[in-house]
Structure 1
Amino acid sequence: MKPIDLLLPELFAADGGIQRYSRTLIQALQVVQPHAPLRVFIRNDHPQHIPTKPWPGISWHPARGSSARMARSLARAARNQRPQLLLSTHPNFAPLQVLHHKLTGSPSWCSAHGIEVWDLRRGPKRWALARLQRLLPVSRFTAARLQLQLGAGCPPIGVLPNSFDQTRFSPGARSPQLLQRYGLHSGQPLILSLSRLSQADAYKNLHKLIEALPALLARWPALRLLIAGEGDDKPRLQSLANQMGVGQQVIFSGRIAEAELADHHRLATVFALPSTGEGFGIVFLEALGCGRPVLAGNRDGSLDPLGDGRFGLLVDPHLPLAPALASLLARQGEDLWFQPQALAQAVGEAFGFVAFCERLDAQLATLEVG
């Protein structure tokens, strides 16, 4: 069988939403196309980042941060054997994909995650995306933005949502070690938010959570808000908490180690990220997988992981958040939101690895038709 080639920005050198999506995609391809060799070209990974333990059926081609080296490696592989499909997980590779298609005739598909394709200016990326054979946005919101911008020239679109690791993110008890670290007692209410604290990501609206805290403390004096993450916006958020008189009630944990991420979700009474700029939000799936009630914005790709409100509370982030947060803290809302095992099972059925494989297999079936 002909190989499938993949173009990735990073895989092992960094860990984020696109990296997790890329790893899930590779694992799913091994399930739904077990006889197809996978040739994986990774722009920013170096040889030392590649696992020493072999992944059966996969050849790694780290480009050490060089786009030119990646292109040469891809061309050599194509000369050796033309792939049945070239699939990238970032739209910045689209111009290279168009060139590859012209030289090999192999269909070329591209994932699209969020803000990187919401406002496409005229240029090589927009030109190239319109000339690929299929686009795979992770949410309906991103799909609609692509269709609006590319118009009649938009390639066929197949939504392929993010997934999450159900073996890691599952309901469980609060970690005694984390309770001790943050000075909490076992029954203390806690709102958790997890994000990169970047000035460029002000659309996450973390400041709105801080502004909601005084009203919530009047009803729940022991309530704490834990904001996890690092970035250049942290000083502003800390200053706001002090100005609001809640500096002692807001905990800034810093960056959370990957091994402790699930336990932080289990620590929460409510997970909240009232963003207006999420392409999807794997973090929502991880919180829901741990059986936690979730609050998210209703103006972006957050609609998809929350199942249009089936799995969690969708709010307008431009409105005061205290009433919505109070309802979740008081366990007011859909019954499913407050049944950890049932919530985790429902979200797993919708967005777990099996569901991802089924959606990917349906997209790959179009190769046989076309």
Structure 2
Amino acid sequence: MRPIDVLVPELFANEGGIQVYSRTLIRALLQLRPHTPLRVFINNDCPRHLPTSGWEGVEWHPAGGSTWQLAASLLRAARRRRPQLLLSTHANYAPLQWLHHRLSGSPSWCSAHGIEVWTLQPGPRRWALGRLQLLLPVSRFTASALRRKFSVRCPPLAVLPNCFDAQRFHPGPPSPALLQRYGLRPGQPVVFSLTRLSTGDRAKHLNRLIRAMVELRSEIPDVVLLIGGEGDDRPHLKTLVHDLGLDGCVLLPGQISPSELADHYRMARVFALPSEKEGFGIVFLEALGCGCAVLAGNRDGSRDPLADGRFGLLVDPDQSLAVPLRQLLTSEGEPLWFVPEALSQAVGQQFAFPAFCERLSSVLADVVPGTMPWDPLTSSC
């Protein structure tokens, strides 16, 4: 049987949204096509990064950071055995995909996340991306951006949203060890945010979130804001916290270990990321899965994980954030937002791994012969 080839920037060397999405896609293909050989070509991972178990059925091709080695490996494999489909999880590889299609005749699909396609300028990547057989935007916002970018030459689109691990991100009691680490008492109101703290990402409006604490603490004196993440903007944010007299009530602990991430969501009463440049935002799904009330911006792909306001509060990020934060901290809003088990279950039905498998199965069925129909009663997803 002819294989399916998957082309990804990175899987295991580091942790991030595209890495999570890529791993999810591979696991879904293994679930939906258990008898189809799966070859995975990874740009940045080295052999030492690859797992020794848990991914049976995958043939790994790590390139160790060499794009030339990646291309050579992919094209050699296609020459040996032409794939049914080449599926990439990043638009940077569109020129290589176009060349692969020209040489092999195999259809080529590409995921589209956010800014990497919103800002595409005329050139080889944009030209090649517009000539692929299918694009898979993760949100309606990114799909709309692609239609504007390519106009009448836009390839077919199929929205394939991110998902979250419902077995890992679920409601539960706060971790006593974390409360002790941050000097918090049980039940103390905590607002949690998590993102890359980069000067290039100031459209996430963390400065507005910090400034909102001045007004918010006049009404809820013991509220604490915890912003996780690393980046070159962290010193600026720490200076802002000090200048506003918020030392001790706005905490920037740095990078948060993946093993402790779910406990950070469970420790918080509200998760807030008032961004206006999110392609989707897996963090929203993780927070919702843990039963956390969520605040997000209303101008970007954040609308999709919040289901246009069904699962959380969408706000104009240019407006004061103190009022909407107070509303969530005092349980003002849709009743579902403040019932952790019900919220987690509702979000899981729409965005957990089985929902991702069902969407991908539908997309594959028309193009790749032999795709197993999705059956939630017999599936192990």
Give yes or no for TM over 0.5.
Answer: yes
Give 1:114 shift.
0.5
Q: Which residue of 2 aligns with 1:303?
A: 303
Q: How does 1:174-189 map to 2 (within 5 A)?
A: 174-189=174-189
The TM-score with structure 1 as length reference comes to 0.98
| Residue 169 of structure 2 is aligned to residue 169 of structure 1 | yes
Amino acid at match of 1:94: A
Give 1:94 shift.
0.3
Contact 2:190 2:270 in 1 (8 A): yes
Q: Which residue of 2 aligns with 1:18?
A: 18
| Residue 44 of structure 2 is aligned to residue 44 of structure 1 | yes
Q: Distance in 2 between matches of 1:119 and 1:14?
A: 24
Q: Which residue of 1 aligns with 2:242?
A: 242
Give 1:55 shift.
2.4
Partner deviation per Cα, 1:187-245 (whole Å, 9 max, x = no partner): 11010011111111111101111111111111111111001111111111111112222
Partner deviation per Cα, 1:9-32 (whole Å, 9 max, x = no partner): 001111100000000000000111
Partner deviation per Cα, 1:162-202 (whole Å, 9 max, x = no partner): 00101110000010000000000001101001111111111
| Residue 226 of structure 2 is aligned to residue 208 of structure 1 | no
Q: How does 1:329-344 map to 2 (within 5 A)?
A: 329-344=329-344
Secondary structure (helix, strand or coil) at the match of 1:18 reads helix
Amino acid at match of 1:257: S
Q: How does 1:144-155 map to 2 (within 5 A)?
A: 144-155=144-155
Amino acid at match of 1:234: R
Amino acid at match of 2:131: R
Q: Which residue of 1 aligns with 2:195?
A: 195
Contact 2:109 2:133 in 1 (8 A): yes
Secondary structure (helix, strand or coil) at the match of 2:186 reads coil
Q: Aligned-residue CA RMSD in angstroms?
A: 0.9
Secondary structure (helix, strand or coil) at the match of 2:219 reads coil
Q: Distance in 2 between matches of 1:368 and 1:233?
A: 45
Q: Which residue of 2 aligns with 1:357?
A: 357
Secondary structure (helix, strand or coil) at the match of 1:272 reads strand
Q: How does 1:99-138 map to 2 (within 5 A)?
A: 99-138=99-138
Q: Which residue of 2 aligns with 1:76?
A: 76
Amino acid at match of 1:120: L
Q: Which residue of 2 aligns with 1:58?
A: 58
Q: Distance in 1 between matches of 2:170 and 2:52?
A: 29
Most deviating of 168-177 and 49-58:
49-58
CA spacing shift, 1:177–1:54, aligned 2, 3 Å: closer
Partner deviation per Cα, 1:236-259 (whole Å, 9 max, x = no partner): 111111222212210111100000
Partner deviation per Cα, 1:84-103 (whole Å, 9 max, x = no partner): 00000000000000000000
Secondary structure (helix, strand or coil) at the match of 2:41 reads strand
Amino acid at match of 2:195: S
Contact 2:109 2:132 in 1 (8 A): yes
Q: Distance in 2 between matches of 1:187 and 1:79?
A: 61
Q: Distance in 2 between matches of 1:152 and 1:14?
A: 38
Give 1:368 shift.
4.9
Secondary structure (helix, strand or coil) at the match of 1:217 reads helix
Q: Distance in 1 between matches of 2:140 and 2:284?
A: 16
Q: Which residue of 2 aligns with 1:253?
A: 253
Amino acid at match of 1:43: N
Q: Which residue of 2 aligns with 1:283?
A: 283
Give 1:53 shift.
2.3
Q: Report how many aligned residue pairs link the two structures.
A: 369
Contact 2:92 2:125 in 1 (8 A): yes
Q: Which residue of 1 aligns with 2:223?
A: 223
Q: Which residue of 2 aligns with 1:347?
A: 347
Sequence identity of aligned pairs in percent?
Answer: 63
Amino acid at match of 2:262: A
Most deviating of 4-13 and 72-81:
72-81
Amino acid at match of 1:197: L
Partner deviation per Cα, 1:34-72 (whole Å, 9 max, x = no partner): 111100000111011111226222100000111111111
Amino acid at match of 2:350: A
Q: Which residue of 1 aligns with 2:313?
A: 313
Q: Distance in 2 between matches of 1:216 and 1:55?
A: 47
Contact 2:84 2:368 in 1 (8 A): no
| Residue 26 of structure 2 is aligned to residue 30 of structure 1 | no
Structure 2: 5+ residue stretches without partners: 370-381
Give 1:113 shift.
0.5
Q: Which residue of 1 aligns with 2:157?
A: 157
Q: Distance in 2 between matches of 1:269 and 1:84?
A: 47
Secondary structure (helix, strand or coil) at the match of 2:365 reads helix
Q: Distance in 1 between matches of 2:139 and 2:313?
A: 18
Q: Distance in 1 between matches of 2:161 and 2:54?
A: 28
Q: Distance in 2 between matches of 1:38 and 1:236?
A: 45
Amino acid at match of 1:63: A
